[in-house]
Amino acid sequence: MASSKEFLNFVMDQLSPLDGVSCRAMMGEYVLYCRGKVVGGIYDDRLLLKPTPGALKLLAEISRTAEMQIPYEGAKEMLAADVDDRELTCRLIEAIAADLPERKRSR
């Protein structure tokens, strides 16, 4: 099942406080970027994020359980974000982007 444009628009609206957030359509789903880094994606109308140490630490600090889901068969588990909680979702994406290495520039 592909994700809907309506859900994509809702997610992007929820993430509007963040600078440098974008998405790219890929095979009926959407890859989510923050400052050029892949931080997660939208799969079957679910926002799933990379479970980096910073994101997991943030959840532990606020006593929230990390719910893990598989985006598609054969993929690694990802962190299921509560997209209705705008503040937490934005904080998670910032933590994930901070954990990821800078993108290598091709010459």
From first to last of the 107 residues of the chain, give the pLDDT tens digit. 689 999 999 999 999 999 999 999 998 899 999 999 999 999 999 999 999 999 999 999 999 988 999 999 999 999 999 999 999 999 999 999 999 998 777 66
User: Against a cut of 0.85, is the pTM above it?
Assistant: yes
What's the rounded Cα separation, in Å, for the pair 54 and 59? 9
pLDDT at 107: 64
pLDDT at 60: 95
CATH topology of domain 5-99: Aspartate Aminotransferase, domain 1 (3.90.1150)
User: Domain-by-domain residue ranges, the chain?
Assistant: 5-99
Calculate ∠ Cα 68-90-14, nearest 5°.
100
